[in-house]
Structures are given as structure tokens and as C-alpha cells.
Amino acid sequence: MSAAPTDKDRANATKEGGKQGHDLDNLAAMGGVRFFSLCLKTTHPDCLDEALAAMNSKADGTEPFGGAGELGKFILAADLKKVAFRVHVPKELHEKLTAKEWAEEVVKRSGRPVEIRVIDEETVAGELLADPDKDLYAEKIRDELAAQSFPFLRSKELLPEVDEDDDFICDPEAAGIGSW
């Protein structure tokens, strides 16, 4: 099992989540994209709820923190022992995509045995313990799940297609959101 998260882990998750939420909010404002997938690099997998709460917090304008509560997010974190994710889609976006549909499709495309748990009508969670004997490495699975999210969002026309003729496109992959 993963070591229990410390207060420092929780504070780090809040800090990283808040900063990422601010970045997502700015990307959405620039390009109109409403759905994002991203890997949190320094967040403990058991602290994703803290990171998500910080992302969804209201931006107060004084600090670059939060503001992504109205955006759909698939966030992932891993350590050596497990990978975990949260998918949050606000009710206002449910006609386009629900959190459960997004998580189920990404897990199905990855072919990994990840159990999905509904937290509430806007949020679902999933996790998978690493098992090197079965080729289950947490960081590898995290990257596979993130990689499956982008083509799914494109298939639902929720991300723009890459257009080589366009001078600017707000593309989360090109912006480094969800990079691994």
C-alpha cells in the first residue's frame, strides 16, 4: 500500500491543484475548451480530492489559484504503489459528457482493470494498485489513461482538431496540459 499522505502531501496537492485550476481557467478563457485531462506530477494519489477542491475553488483575482469549477477535468496522480484519478464534470456540461461516461470510456480504451466509484453526480474516482509481476506500473498506467482521454474527447468533438493552417489553437496537449 502507499504510505498514508502527510499534512505536507495535502498542502502540496492543494497548491498544485490550485495552480493547475488557474491555468485551466485561463486556457478555457483563451480558446473555449471546456474539458481537460492532466497528470499532477507532485500530488500524492490519496490527495486528489484536495487537489480537485483547490482546482474548483473560486478565483479571487489576487492570486493565481483555482477557478476551474465550471470545467470538465480528468486528473491523475501516481506514486510507486498506485495510480488514482478523479473525473469532474459540472452539471452544466452533462449534455455533452458526464464524469461517469468519460471515466468508463477511458478505462475501457486502456484495457486496465480499474474500478470506478461514483462520488457524486459530478465526480467519479478510480484507482489501481501497482503490481510489477503483472506489468502494472502505476506511472505507466497513469500515462496510458491520460493518453486515452484526448482521442476520446476529440471523438466527442470536445477538443478542436489540430489545424496546421491556423496560427493559434488552444490545444491542451500542445500547451503541456496532460503531458507526461
Query: Rounded to the nearest 10 degrees, what angle do helices 99-110 and 138-155 cross at?
Result: 120
Q: What is the CATH number of domain 7-153?
A: 3.10.310.40
**Residue 1: predicted pLDDT:** 55
Whole-prediction pTM value?
0.86
The residue ranges of every structural domain in the chain are 7-153
**Residue 179: predicted pLDDT:** 46
**Residue 174: predicted pLDDT:** 56
Task: List, for the chain, all residue ranges whose pLDDT scores fall below the cut of 70.
Answer: 1-2, 162-180
Task: Give residue-wise pLDDT tens across range 2-25.
Answer: 678 999 999 999 999 999 999 999
Instruction: Answer whether 57's CB lies under 8 Å from 21's CB.
Output: yes
Write phi, then psi, for 98 (nearest 5 degrees). -105, 160
Task: Give residue-wise pLDDT tens across range 36-64.
Answer: 999 999 999 999 999 999 999 998 777 78
